[in-house]
Chain A
């Protein structure tokens, strides 16, 4: 209960020194094609889910690389695994496998169960 009516705003800054790379390293090891993402956004543009709800496939890569596991867990649930993103990816990344791996692995590292 906040008796004073104000609270401390957590900083928005990404602090790389707090970065926990365990999940990222596990995903990169199991799906090495994920290393070469260019952040072009082709996947996001073609995504069926993304046309209807707030879901950005490209940002999944960023969330993972910045260690934002909690937000990532919410994001991957929005994917319907249709695989359209893989058709347009200029670097041929197996995005669907990345999401499948994330779904499996994220429970190990996330304090909040997805």
Chain B
């Protein structure tokens, strides 16, 4: 059934595409703005997904098919320039000079990855053999072999958990949630590619919250012999041959520990996206101390923002997995539908 009401979705990643397609299916006139020239968000850069190792392309294809149905308008390379509000209607001016009217707005501008160069003591972009989890994903996605800067096969690989998460020094108190299981997934993928390599994960806590994440962790220990050392990396230094000497405390035995590794992978956390912060200012949205957008109620109202008519979907509200993002987008669609039908007020 055709509705008179209009919705503008800002951000064309997982959450934006999902919420737009559902609202379009309910008959609303939906326009989705995407600032880059490609929808799908950061998922485009990912190779395989936890917990089952499926191709990230499965999800991007699922989203692309929804866009291909053309039930809603998609404006690429388009971002919001300004917002005005009149008689309960939003008027959104884009950088391309369009003025869009909307009864409701969805913010789905997502997250940014923590910039690992800020943890200088870990040596990212200083030492040759330090990469991030996103870099590793890119290497695997391109089908390149895992190799050191000198082209040799790594014999020892270390994964470092909580880089830019739970870290007051870098200004991010929060737990990014997904990196623990990403580390386990990537450690297994590394073990599969380099069966002779020793693989270590340095962790503070391991938070295997998902239903089958714990079994993945167990599989990593049992089947792939991945060793977990409880202790946060204090520093890394480069040897003459570009391998790395890393230091941590083995907190379970209470002694300092050092080892040389050929490759080090930093599991970078999720922080509020730059575009998310800009939307907070443009729409006057309240934010959490960690910078993510504040939801109206942590149990009962997870998609409304502090401003009436502005709804939130996905990782602009905090770190989420792909499945959680899809669910959050779907629940946003229901809330918007209820509001626009006058069922909630």
Instruction: Report yes or no: B258 in contact with A13, Cβ–Cβ below 8 A.
Output: yes
Q: Which listed segment binds B: A47-55, A59-67, A74-82, A100-108?
A: A59-67
Instruction: Report yes or no: A35 in contact with B225, Cβ–Cβ below 8 A.
Output: yes
Instruction: Report yes or no: A32 in contact with B227, Cβ–Cβ below 8 A.
Output: no
Q: Which residue of B lies closest to A13 (CB)?
A: B256
Residue pairs across A and B with CB atoms within 8 Å: the count is: 43
Q: Return the contact of A16 from the options B221, B222, B252, B257 (Cβ within 8 A).
A: B257
Residues on the B chain within 8 Å of A12, using CB: 255-256
Instruction: Report yes or no: B230 in contact with A32, Cβ–Cβ below 8 A.
Output: no
A112 at the interface (CB under 8 A from B): no
A1 at the interface (CB under 8 A from B): no
Residues on the A chain within 8 Å of B255, using CB: 12-14
Instruction: Report yes or no: B250 in contact with A66, Cβ–Cβ below 8 A.
Output: yes
A111 at the interface (CB under 8 A from B): no
A66 to B259, CA, bound (A): 11
A32 to B221, CA, bound (A): 10
Residues on the B chain within 8 Å of A58, using CB: 252
A62 to B252, CA, bound (A): 8
Min C-beta distance of A104 to chain B, whole Å: 22
B260 at the interface (CB under 8 A from A): yes
**B232-267 vs A, Cβ < 8 Å mask (1 yes, 0 no):** 000000000000000000101101111110000000
A30 to B257, CA, bound (A): 28
Residues on the A chain within 8 Å of B225, using CB: 28, 35
Q: Return the contact of A32 from the options B222, B256, B259, B260 (Cβ within 8 A).
A: B222
Instruction: Report yes or no: B222 in contact with A17, Cβ–Cβ below 8 A.
Output: no
Residue numbers of B with Cβ under 8 A of A are 218, 221-222, 225, 227, 230, 250, 252-253, 255-260
9 sampled A-B residue pairs with Cβ under 8 A: A13-B257, A13-B258, A14-B255, A14-B257, A14-B258, A15-B258, A16-B257, A35-B222, A58-B252
